Amino acid sequence: MLSKKRKGRKNKDAPADLPVLLISGKDDPVGDMGRGVERLAKYYKGIGSGCFCEKDMLEYFLTERFDAVYLELGTNIATRPLFAIEERVGPLIDAFCTRFSDKKVFLMSPVKGFADVSSTAKDYSVKFANTRKVISEHAAKHANAVLLDGHALVGKDYYLKADVLHPSDFGHVMMGVIFADMLKKYL
């Protein structure tokens, strides 16, 4: 259950009676949720290329105050070499989970994409599997980490645009509905 404590909250725009969910990712799947999120104040910190987990960005995020955090870490960085993923994603998960050990840290594995629907993208399949592994291994080290299945978030191929990479308008709505359902037991 997310706490509704507001003392010392840096995020003064959030209604005082709602828990705050800090969101980091290129897209805001929570924005389209509708049902199930009326009980959350969303504090969206998505920044283009934020998936690269730069040190300055991490230090900034670690100064924020919130009740829970949602990190969508693996989809955009998955095409990078494994060492880069381990070097950037692993420390970010460890830092959030350690610094905010009393908070839920929701981690989304890479979402469904081209590599999952085309046999011509074998290299992507391997890279996305490596990214899932890094996220899973770091999540397993922390009791407050909640690993969410990115494949379940984009459950149907038709939730994606023709590029089989980005969510369609309908896909965004469905991602929000599915995300709300994933969080239900924690709210």
Enter the pTM of the model: 0.75
Residue 102 falls within a domain, yes or no? yes
Per-residue pLDDT, 135:
94
Residue 132 falls within a domain, yes or no? yes
Write the pLDDT tens digit of every residue in 40-60. Answer: 545 545 544 445 566 777 787
Which CATH number covers residue 65?
3.40.50.1110
Q: Which domain holds residue 177?
A: 20-186
Distances (CA, A) of 90 to 19, 49, 59, 182: 26, 17, 15, 23
Q: Which two tokens stand for residue 94?
A: 């460890």
Residue 11 falls within a domain, yes or no? no
Write the pLDDT tens digit of every residue in 87-109. Answer: 888 988 999 999 999 999 999 88
Distances (CA, A) of 162 to 120, 159, 171, 172: 16, 10, 12, 14
Q: Which two tokens stand for residue 148?
A: 């969410």
Domain total of the chain: 1
